[in-house]
Amino acid sequence: MARIVIVSNRVPTPGRRGVQPGGLAAALGDSLRPGTLWFGWSGRVVAETPTRAELVEHRGVAYAMIDLSESHYRGFYAGFANGTLWPLLHARLGLMEFERADLEGYVAVNRAFAAALAPLLRPDDLVWVHDYHLIPLGAELRALGVQNRLGFFLHVPFVPASIFGVLPCADLLLRALMAYDLVGVQSEQHRRDLRNAMDEILGARAAAGGRIYVGEQSTRIIANPIGIDAAGFTALAERAAGRREAKRLAESLVGRALIIGADRLDYSKGLPNRFEGFARFLHRYPEFRQKVSYLQVAALSRADVKQYQALRRELDRLAGDINGRFAEFDWVPLRYMTSALPRATLAGFYRMARVGLVTPLRDGMNLVAKEYVAAQDPRDPGVLILSKFAGAAERMADALIVNPYDADSITDAIARALTMPLAERQRRFETLAHEVRTVTAQSFYAAFCAALAGTPVRRLALAEKGAA
Residues that bind ligand F6P (CB under 6 A): 9-10, 21-25, 131, 155-156, 301-302
Active site residue 155: yes
Q: Which is nearer to ligand F6P, 99 or 304 (CB)?
A: 304
In whole angstroms, the minimum distance from the beta carbon of 124 to ligand F6P comes to: 27
Q: What share of the chain is helix, strand, coil (3-state, %, to 5)?
A: 50, 20, 30
Q: Which residue is nearest to ligand F6P (CB)?
A: 22
Residue 431, burial from CB neighbour count under 10 angstroms (0-12, 13-18, 19+): middle
In whole angstroms, the minimum distance from the beta carbon of 459 to ligand F6P comes to: 30
Identify the active-site residue in 229, 263, 363, 398.
363
In whole angstroms, the minimum distance from the beta carbon of 15 to ligand F6P comes to: 18
Q: Which is nearer to ligand F6P, 278 or 372 (CB)?
A: 372
Q: Which is nearer to ligand F6P, 131 or 398 (CB)?
A: 131
Q: Which is nearer to ligand F6P, 81 or 410 (CB)?
A: 81
* 84 secondary structure, DSSP code: I
In whole angstroms, the minimum distance from the beta carbon of 239 to ligand F6P comes to: 26
* 168 secondary structure, DSSP code: T
* 385 secondary structure, DSSP code: E
In whole angstroms, the minimum distance from the beta carbon of 210 to ligand F6P comes to: 26
Give residue 458's identity as a one-letter amino acid code: R
- Helices (H), strands (E): how many in the chain? 18, 16
Residues 344-378 as b/e (b if ≥16 CB within 10 A, e otherwise) read bbbbbbbbbbbbbbbbbbbbbbbbbbbbbbbbbee
* 3 secondary structure, DSSP code: P
Q: Which is nearer to ligand F6P, 5 or 156 (CB)?
A: 156
Cα 280 from Cα 198, distance rounded (Å): 43
In whole angstroms, the minimum distance from the beta carbon of 189 to ligand F6P comes to: 17
Q: Which is nearer to ligand F6P, 10 or 458 (CB)?
A: 10
Structural contact between residues 456 and 399, judged by C-beta atoms closer than 8 angstroms: no
Cα 97 from Cα 85, distance rounded (Å): 9
Identify the active-site residue in 72, 90, 130, 155.
155
- As beta bridge partners, residue 46 has 69
Helix 230-240, helix 343-352: angle, nearest 10: 80
Q: Tell me which residues are annotated as active site.
A: 155, 363
